[in-house]
Amino acid sequence: MNNGTNASGTAQKAFDNDVAAHTFRPRLSFYHANGKGTGSAAQFEVVPACGDRDGAVFLTLAQQKSVASGSAEHGNRQHATFDWQNRVTVKLNFSDLCQMVPVFKGQAATIGDGKGLYHDSRNTTTLINLTRQSEPYTGLALEVSRRGKAESEQALRLRIVFNAAEAFGLGAVLEQVLGLLAFGIPSDAFYTPGPAHAEAEPSAMG
């Protein structure tokens, strides 16, 4: 009787873990393509705190690579593509998000009075800015500038502008994410993070 109960409990836990693996959605992506090929895309990936590991959100930006072509009507529709190979990824910790969320929620116009978030690593210096703009159109501009410390390396600058609805949604979900970064997810929930956070502060990949 006890063996049957234990087996049943183990099976239920395995089922619950499998459900958690398929229902926990740690990524959120935005694709802003345009006809000029000057658009960009952004992806937010959540890595919850676990044990002694602090949680983080990995923000990845990529420039538009090609414009959309063809049409669905003629069966030759080709969607716009983005240059993920030369993406730039930054690691946002609890403190970083605490400064960004008020801007997303409309409680502040920019981060640190326009000074932004400064990330310094052995090989690169990164500046992250989030600012409300009214020209050339209203939105919330997220910009990441990264420069290598070698004199020969050129600075990399990527930018995306979120509309009011996107900014509202991001403010809401990132505020909730703060709990995952601080306290993680239940220990019995199974979660395998993706590749975006393979490095703590990766530079753009060529």
Domains of the chain with bracketed CATH:
25-197 (2.30.31.10)
Q: Which residues contact 174 (CB under 8 A, 6 or more apart)?
A: 44, 57, 97, 100, 101, 104
How are the residues of the chain apportioned to helix, strand and coil, as percentages rounded to the nearest 5?
30, 35, 35
Tell me the pLDDT of the chain (206 aa) as tens digits: 445 545 555 555 544 544 444 455 578 999 999 999 999 999 999 999 988 889 999 999 999 999 988 777 777 778 899 999 989 999 999 999 999 999 999 999 999 888 999 999 988 999 999 999 888 878 999 999 999 888 777 888 999 999 999 999 999 999 999 999 999 876 555 555 555 544 444 333 33
Q: How far apart are CA 110 and CA 113, in angstroms?
A: 6
Cβ atoms of 133 and 141 within 8 Å: the answer is: yes
Name the DSSP letter for residue 53. B
Q: What is the CA radius of gyration of the chain?
A: 20
The pTM score is: 0.76
Three-state secondary-structure class, residue 124: strand
